[in-house]
Each structure stands twice: as C-alpha cells, then as structure tokens.
Structure 1
C-alpha cells in the first residue's frame, strides 16, 4: 500500500518535472513507467510497491542535467531528497538509488536488485509504433537541421544497435509482454523496405 501523503508528494513535487523534458521523456512517459512498474511489482511478491513507485517516478529526473549521465544524476536526486526519509529507511533509499542508476538500457551490468529490473523493464515499454516514433523524435530534437536521409541513417543505426537480435537492449522478464512486442519490432527492423516506409510516415508527421 502506497501512503497517500507519499503519492501527493510525488504527484506535486516530482512528476511535474517531466513537463520540461523531450517528447520521449514527458509526463506520459513517466506515468507509463509508474503504471508498468507497479504491475510488475504486484507480480513479484518480494517487491514492495512503495519502492517501485518512487523509483519509477524519479528514474529520468536527471535529464534536467544531461542525457548521458541522467541515470546517475536521477539516483543522486533521489538520494538527496530528504522528504523521502519520512517514508523510507536509509537502506531502502540506497536500494532505490541503485535501481534508478541501473535502469538505463545501455548499462553494462545487470540491475543489482529486483527493483532495478522492474524499472528497467517498465522503461522499455516496447510498442513498435511508439518505439519507432520516439526514435524519430529524439533524432529531430538532437539535430533538427539535418536532412531526411541523415535522420533515416541515425534511426536505422539506433534500432539495429538496440533492438535487433544481439542488440544491447536486455529484457529481465522474458515471460513479459515486452518480449512478444520486441519480436514484432524486430520483424519491422528486418524488413528495410517496410522500415523506410514507416520512417517516412513518422518523419513527415513529426518534422
């Protein structure tokens, strides 16, 4: 059970920060990650949904500084938030900090706890259209002046590196819905004609 005052604090002091971030990390994103984290926590009796909730809420707050180290900065923000000590012990706060640090898809180590796996999995909501659109959106945000072909090459390279078989994306719950969705996404990536068609449509809608 998540205490109501904790929910109020997160809803008023933490979640609004996502209004300042890009389309791929906005309010809709954090709410989705919270929802998915809680669903996963409920499937694993050893997980405390209070911790899963807070971790999900803070996981991308470090984007206020930069993208490269945002997972580490997010952990620092959580750790430094003295308000959380009303509800959590030092041990729990450290556990949450580590989970936030471990959520990034490109991290080179397995999450250190069930909580890291939960937020990492929740953050990888794989819906082919959403994933492809977010990839285009990120490229446009980073380099809006580049031409369409540059954006396609970046889009293709990123998808191959992250989502194609052998890519760096790791799923921690192979029985989960992400695994099924990843197969659908991989089928699109493998068909370059179809992939370019999808890119062209999204690019025209987003540019």
Structure 2
C-alpha cells in the first residue's frame, strides 16, 4: 500500500502500514499482505456510496484477518479482540467507534449465518469476497497445500471441488451485501467455471503445479 487513501489520517495510515499489514506476511498465501491490501482498496472504493467514516472502514479492512495469528476457525473473533485491545487506535477513535470497527471485522466471515450488524461489516464482508474466478481457485488450492499437506493430488482436487461447490455454487453459503460491487457478475463467471468440470480441472492442474513448485526443497 503505497499511498494514503482519501479521508484517512496520514498518521493512522503509517501506523497500519508499518505495524499491522506486516502481520499478514506470516499467513498462508491466500491471506497474505496482497489480500489485505485488496480488501482495503475495495472497501475504500465501495464506502464512497455510503455515509461511512473512511477511517473506520480503512481500519476494519486492514485488521479484518489479523486473527489468523491464532487460528482459522475463530480468526474473525480474534481479529475483533485485537482491535479492541490495540491501545494505539485510541489516538484516532473513541470507544464507540472502536466497537463498531471490531464488530465489522468479526462480521466479515463468509460462513457466518448472520447478516453483518452495520454498514461497516457489510463493506468489509463484501470486499473480502475477492471474487475473481482464477484468484478464488488459486487461493483454494494454496490453502489446501498450507493446511492439508498430507493430501495427494486427487485429494487436493476433491477438496478444491468440495469447497468451491459448498461456498460459491448456487445455494452455497456465500452471501453478497453491497449492490455497487462487481462481485455479482464475477460470481456468475465463477459458477460457470464450477459447472464446466473439464475447464475447472484444467485450471486446477495449473494451480496445483504452481503450488508444488513453490514448496521449499528439503535436504
């Protein structure tokens, strides 16, 4: 993230850039710093359509996956806890604002059965979807390599297919909240790929090979 977004204090931007975003460098490839910066960028773009404080949107987006430092299953809850416990944020926000920011981070998870409590939560949830078909498939394969190293190639294919169908196919658990987002059209594109099993397999083969090449050689 090279430049400070409009409406965000330079001091807040610098704090997030130097103290928060580096946390993502230790996460899996699907949730690295590039993902965090993508979510920030999308959230800042979408918030222009709503009466939302850009500083709060920026902060919620930047912190939304920091809870991965503990685990995947409860990372959204941990992210909220990190926000509430970060004393540095009191330089820019009052307690009520920090609570809203924390709620937004907690509400972003795609598998949540509840609608986000505020527009901030909806903005972060929508921005986190990152529905770029090839990116979704790549992140799915990369996540499998990072968390299920015991699987062979066909095991990774089965896991990839199961995840894509469960989350993104018709009737999947993913929900979209912001009509101004491009996610709806991109989701249609992704669903078409999921239905075309031959095309999906060819994409998987390329991403699987790339993931294999990225594994450090052990001597």
Instruction: Find 2:9's aligned residue among 3, 6, 11.
Output: 3
Aligned pairs, number: 206
- Asked whether 1:107 is paired with 2:112, we answer yes
In the alignment, structure 1 residue 16 sits paired with structure 2 residue 22: yes
For the residues of structure 2 that align with 1:198 and 1:3, how far apart are their CA atoms?
A: 42
Q: Which moved more, 1:69-78 or 1:13-22?
A: 13-22
Q: Contact between 2:63 and 2:83, CA under 8 Å: does it hold in 1?
A: yes
Give RMSD over aligned pairs. Answer: 0.8
2:122 matched to 1:86?
no
1:152 and 1:18 map into 2 onto residues whose CA distance is: 26
Q: C-alpha displacement at 1:139, in angstroms?
A: 0.6
Task: Structure 1: give runs of 5+ residues left out of the alignment.
Answer: none
Q: Distance in 2 between matches of 1:14 and 1:171?
A: 27
Alpha-carbon separation, structure 1, partners of 2:169 and 2:139: 16
1:175 deviates by: 4.0
- Per the TM alignment, residue 174 of structure 1 is displaced from its structure 2 partner at its CA by 3.2
Deviations 1:48-103 (A, max 9, x none): 10000000110000000000000000000000011111111111000011000000
Matched with 2:216 is: none
- TM (norm. structure 1) is 0.97
Q: TM-score, normalised by structure 2?
A: 0.92
Q: Structure 1 runs of 4+ off > 6 angstroms?
A: none
Pairs within 5 Å for 1:1-207: 1-44=7-50, 46-207=51-212
Stretches of structure 2 that go unaligned for 5 or more consecutive residues are: 1-6, 213-219
Structure-2 separation of matches of 1:59 and 1:186? 26
Tell me, in whole angstroms, the C-alpha distance in 1 between the residues paired with 2:106 and 2:11: 25
